[in-house]
């Protein structure tokens, strides 16, 4: 009987635990080992059946791994690679699932030995519950799963990473790492800082004690931050600094335009701008839900109303859980 493949998952949050659950259908061929410095999360993942066993010690978790799924914040990746680099098996392939890729691929080239390959992955999911309790086996089913490589990535490593993504139910979507990071700056990192800035403006206002009582769905949606904590969010933005600064500049320009239109009494132009955003958002959500990124032909009846759009986006459980992440574009071929 052939030896069972070992897949080690580092990081037992929503993404890591969901990866484990998705791979459980291959339990007769694969042993899944989980590692997380947070013992509560590791235990929770084990209890829900996402892993066969957990290892508190990182080296013990990876030393026999054939594949490693790394589902940790961008700020932890360099230290993690440094810690385990010299203890990895010959031919081990690492699939990194963070939302920043250029920096991670550079770190891999610097730190990993030649016999180990890292391929960048980034699953695109929209879900209300972003902690381990929301993990499910079908989280990636039919969803775009970005795949990024560099000149150091062998064809064999890319094929193995692609197989792993498909085994989890994802649809591989090849992107250039720089292109990916530019788009993620617009869809993740700039929105994170925009939400933080709005919340900071509100909570530092002298009227916040009463203002918070009036904060409802719109405020919730506008201040939603999906990162686990401030350090994780800041480290991701810092790892994608150049692109994020560029998108913040563009966002500030749009806010200036909104302010100028409002101050000048250009209500019709302001309404037109808001309506463009509403229509684009409805179409995006429709495509995201269907997993169909061809330009949709939608009748007025098919496009969700602004109310149902917001309801679908954050769910009526919004005040219990946390929410969405970005969409992507149509899959293409890897760039050479």
Chain segment 15-26, per-residue pLDDT in tens: 999 999 999 999
Question: pLDDT at position 152, please?
Answer: 84
Q: What's the whole-number average pLDDT of the chain? A: 88
Q: What is the helix, strand, coil percentage profile of the chain, to 5?
A: 50, 10, 35
Q: Sign (positive/negative) of CA torsion 285, 307, 274, 129?
A: negative
Task: State residue 121 phi and psi, 5-degree precision.
Answer: -130, 155
- pLDDT interval class at 302 (50, 70, 90): low
Lowest mean pLDDT among 23-32, 148-157, 303-312: 303-312
pLDDT in tens, 167-204: 999 999 999 999 999 999 999 999 999 999 999 999 99
Two tokens, residue 239: 């790892």
Residues in the chain, total = 336
Segment 263-267 mean pLDDT: 97
Question: pLDDT at position 295, please?
Answer: 65
pTM for this predicted structure: 0.83
Residue spans of the domains in the chain: they are 5-176, 179-314
Task: State residue 116 phi and psi, 5-degree precision.
Answer: -120, 135
Question: pLDDT at position 320, please?
Answer: 34
- 85-115 burial: b if 16+ Cβ within 10 Å, else e: eeebbeebbbbbbbbbbbbbbebbeebbeee
CA distance 277 to 275: 5
pLDDT in tens, 35-76: 999 999 999 999 999 999 999 999 999 999 999 999 999 999
CATH, domain 5-176, list 3.40.50.720, 3.90.1150.200, 2.40.30.30, 1.10.150.120: 3.40.50.720
Angle at 288 between CA 285 and CA 291, to 5 degrees: 150
CA distance 70 to 99: 12
Segment 290-305 mean pLDDT: 59
- pLDDT interval class at 296 (50, 70, 90): low
146 has a pLDDT exceeding 80: yes
- pLDDT interval class at 240 (50, 70, 90): very high
- What CATH code would you report for 179-314? 1.10.3660.10
């Amino acid at each position: 009987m052939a030896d069972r493949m070992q897949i080690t998952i580092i990081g037992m949050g929503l993404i890591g635990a969901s990866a484990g659950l998705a791979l459980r259908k291959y339990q007769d061929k694969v042993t899944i080992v989980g590692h997380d410095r947070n013992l509560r999360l590791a235990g929770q993942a084990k209890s829900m059946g996402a892993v066969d066993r957990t290892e508190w010690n990182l080296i013990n978790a990876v030393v026999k791994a054939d594949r490693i799924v790394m589902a940790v914040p961008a700020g932890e990746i360099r230290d993690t690679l440094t810690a385990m680099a010299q203890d990895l098996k010959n031919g081990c392939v690492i699939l990194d699932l963070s939302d920043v890729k250029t920096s991670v691929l550079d770190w891999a080239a610097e730190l990993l030995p030649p016999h180990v390959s890292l391929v960048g992955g980034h699953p695109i999911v929209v879900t209300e519950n972003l902690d381990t309790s929301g993990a499910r086996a079908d989280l990636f089913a039919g969803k775009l799963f970005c795949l990024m490589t560099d000149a150091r990535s062998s064809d064999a490593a890319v094929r193995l990473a692609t197989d792993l993504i498909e085994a989890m139910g994802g649809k591989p979507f090849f992107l250039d790492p720089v292109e990916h990071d530019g788009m993620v700056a617009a869809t993740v990192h700039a929105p994170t800082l925009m939400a933080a800035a709005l919340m900071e403006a509100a909570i530092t206002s002298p009227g916040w004690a009463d203002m918070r009582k009036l904060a409802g769905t719109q405020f919730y949606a506008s201040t939603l931050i999906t990162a686990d904590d401030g350090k994780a969010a800041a480290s991701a933005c810092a790892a994608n600094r150049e692109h994020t600064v560029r998108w913040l500049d563009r966002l500030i320009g749009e806010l200036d335009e909104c302010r100028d239109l409002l101050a000048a009494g250009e209500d019709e132009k302001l309404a037109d701008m808001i309506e463009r955003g509403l229509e684009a958002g409805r179409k995006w959500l429709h495509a995201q839900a269907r997993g169909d990124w061809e330009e949709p032909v939608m009748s007025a009846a098919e496009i969700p109303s602004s109310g149902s759009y917001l309801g679908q986006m954050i769910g009526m459980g919004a005040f219990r859980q946390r929410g969405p992440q970005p969409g992507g574009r149509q899959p293409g071929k890897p760039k050479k």
